[in-house]
Each structure stands twice: as structure tokens, then as C-alpha cells.
């Protein structure tokens, strides 16, 4: 084996632990099954007429958390998803990635379902994937 051969790493999706209001989510769909992003850039840049620049830290840490699950996921099948859609009080959403060489995850202490998830029926299983978007006022990447 060559000394400078590229390293091969293994990522195990079962090592990614997402909890929504204390409920561990399983039954993810293929592809991007968890996507978290802030609504705004971390910094804003203002450049003056003579080229002087000022970078300001953006204090808006709001964001969205999108998950994709199968209809057989306990999150859907148990009714927990529909319960959270109707809930008025915010709830926590947290994720820890226990894979070696991975990001640690994120926390969002006060989240809510952005809008009710579509009611889907299709003859194709891939057409029945539930995509749920949570909104939060403060997503913290760890």
C-alpha cells in the first residue's frame, strides 16, 4: 500500500441521533434525511465609497430543520408528528452525530412545525415520503 493513499472512512446513519420533543426519530428516507440551516448569513458586509469594509456579526440565529421519513416511521405511525403540528408551545429538537470524524450536531431548544405536512397517497412508495420542516428562533451548531 502506498504511504500517501487516501483514507477510507465509514459513516453509519444509525449513529446519527435526532430527537424531537424527546422522541427519537427513526425510519428516515434515502438521500438527505436531515438538513439544518440558518435563515441568515453569519456576517453582513458593508463596503464604503473608498473601499473601507465593515463586517458585522449577524445576531439572527433563526433557522429551519428539515427531515424526511417514510410513512412507516414511528414518528408518523404513532401520531407524534400530527400531535406536534397541533401543538402551540415550542419543543426541543436536537441531533448528535456519533460517527468518528463527523460534526457533533445541533440543538434548537424552541422549535415548532412550520406548516402541516402534506397528506400523501401514491402508488409509488417514493411518493409517500413525509418531509417535515421545523422552524426555530435559535439553532446552535455544536
pLDDT in tens, 46-69: 999 999 999 999 999 999 999 999
CA–CA distance from 133 to each of 8, 12, 47 (Å)? 33, 24, 35
Give the start-to-end residue ranges of the domains of the chain.
13-141
| pLDDT value for 7 | 83
* Residue range 14-52, pLDDT digits in tens: 899 999 999 999 999 988 999 999 999 999 999 999 999
The dotted CATH code for 13-141 is 2.40.30
Amino acid at each position: 500500500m502506498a504511504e500517501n493513499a487516501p483514507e477510507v472512512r465509514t459513516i453509519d446513519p444509525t449513529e446519527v441521533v435526532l430527537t424531537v420533543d424527546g422522541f427519537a426519530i427513526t425510519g428516515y428516507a434515502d438521500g438527505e434525511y436531515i438538513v439544518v440551516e440558518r435563515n441568515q448569513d453569519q456576517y453582513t458586509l458593508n463596503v464604503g465609497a473608498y473601499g473601507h469594509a465593515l463586517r458585522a456579526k449577524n445576531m439572527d440565529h433563526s433557522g429551519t430543520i428539515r427531515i424526511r421519513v417514510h410513512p412507516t416511521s414511528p414518528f408518523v405511525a404513532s401520531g407524534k408528528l400530527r400531535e406536534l403540528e397541533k401543538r402551540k408551545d415550542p419543543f426541543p429538537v436536537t441531533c448528535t452525530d456519533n460517527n468518528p470524524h463527523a460534526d457533533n450536531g445541533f440543538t434548537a431548544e424552541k422549535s415548532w412545525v412550520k406548516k402541516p405536512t402534506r397528506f400523501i397517497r401514491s402508488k409509488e412508495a417514493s411518493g409517500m415520503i413525509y418531509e417535515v420542516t421545523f422552524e426555530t428562533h435559535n439553532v446552535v451548531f455544536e
